[in-house]
Structure 1
Amino acid sequence: MTIAEQTAPAAETTAAPRGWVRVCRVTDLEVERGRAALLGRDTQIALFLLADGTVRAVSNYDPYGHANVLSRGIVGTKSLGNTPQPSGNTALSDSGNEESREEVPTIASPLHKQAWDLRTGMVVETQGKDPLDIPVWPVAVRDGDVLVKWEERR
């Protein structure tokens, strides 16, 4: 069942600001489990509630597998931006780590395991294929409602 099928009728909820669409309640989401939703007639998105409480929205379409399956993908993190510490007599941190890494939230396709940054839609693991990014949508949470910034194209 998609989130769109689980939501209450519009009359029972407050209206979303112009350019934003109410998709579901935060309580409809499970931490690190995807949910599919339909925007308009043909735009499928995948929503993810992360462990830090943020909600991310990306395309549900896997451009490598050619299927709407990313909501069923594996949520994780990847280390990006491996930035070496300055050379010379710079002291190591207490952890002894010589490199600074940024951990970013990711979604891995359930089909071929390519992975994307949930913040930007940039592919971070191509599994040897050409890089293909996915669209992302801004998300806001207001009074427990998950809102996605979206306007239907005519």
Structure 2
Amino acid sequence: MKTANQWNIVCTVDDLVPESGIAVWTPDGPVAIFYIPYRLPALFAISHTDPFSGTNVLARGITGDLKGEPVVASPLYKQHFSLVTGQCLENEDVKVKTYRVLLDGNAVRLEIRTASFEAVAA
């Protein structure tokens, strides 16, 4: 099995809300895209699923900065997740998946790893 990277268009710049997140559906499941215009990079993407509750709510969390680290606070139990690494700041054993994201003209693209299968000669 080989893996490949695929850059999917998930939304446009017009869909983004400054200092907030939006949820998008991808082949990898729900992803939260955050737009923090005063930071470089300004776009961040993490799993939309809160690992403590199992619900898709992280895009609705409050963004902020803890000791220079851009974070989102889960709207349910208030844990903070790094927008750079996905690490939960209150529990070192918990981490959400992060994604590479970029702006391509007006399109926001998200990198999704896909698996492809090779036929094996018998």
TM-score interval, normalised by the smaller of the two chains:
0.7 to 0.9
What is the distance in 2 between the residues matched to 1:26 and 1:124?
29
What is the distance in 2 between the residues matched to 1:125 and 1:141?
31
Q: How far 1:68 moved relative to its partner?
A: 0.8
Larger radius of gyration: 1
Counterpart check, 1:21 vs 2:8: yes
Q: How far 1:125 moved relative to its partner?
A: 2.6
Question: For residue 116 of structure 1, what is the amino acid of its counterpart?
Answer: F
Q: How far 1:151 moved relative to its partner?
A: 3.3
Match of 2:29 among 30, 40, 43: 43
What is the distance in 2 between the residues matched to 1:140 and 1:29?
13
Question: For residue 139 of structure 1, what is the amino acid of its counterpart?
Answer: V
Q: How far 1:153 moved relative to its partner?
A: 4.4
Q: Which has the higher strand share?
A: 2
**4+ residue runs of structure 1 moved beyond 4 angstroms?**
none
Question: Structure 1: which 5+ runs fail to align?
Answer: 1-17, 80-102
Over the residues paired in the alignment, what is the CA RMSD in angstroms? 1.7
State the TM-score, normalizing by the size of structure 2. Answer: 0.82
**2:119 aligned residue:** none
Question: For residue 47 of structure 1, what is the amino acid of its counterpart?
Answer: I
Match of 2:19 among 11, 17, 32: 32
Question: Structure 2: which 5+ runs fail to align?
Answer: 117-122
Aligned-partner SS, 2:32: strand
Aligned-partner SS, 2:17: coil
Match of 1:65 among 37, 41, 53: 53
**Does the CA contact (< 8 Å) of 2:6 and 2:114 recur in 1?**
no
Q: How many residues align?
A: 110
**1:141 aligned residue:** 103
Aligned-partner SS, 1:132: coil
**Does the CA contact (< 8 Å) of 2:82 and 2:89 recur in 1?**
yes
What is the distance in 1 between the residues matched to 2:115 and 2:61?
27
Equivalences for 1:4-153 in 2 at 5 Å? 19-40=6-27, 43-52=29-38, 54-79=42-67, 103-126=68-91, 131-153=93-115
- 1:11-44 Cα offsets, whole Å, 9 max, x none, are xxxxxxx71000111121011121111102x610
Aligned-partner SS, 1:19: strand
**2:120 aligned residue:** none
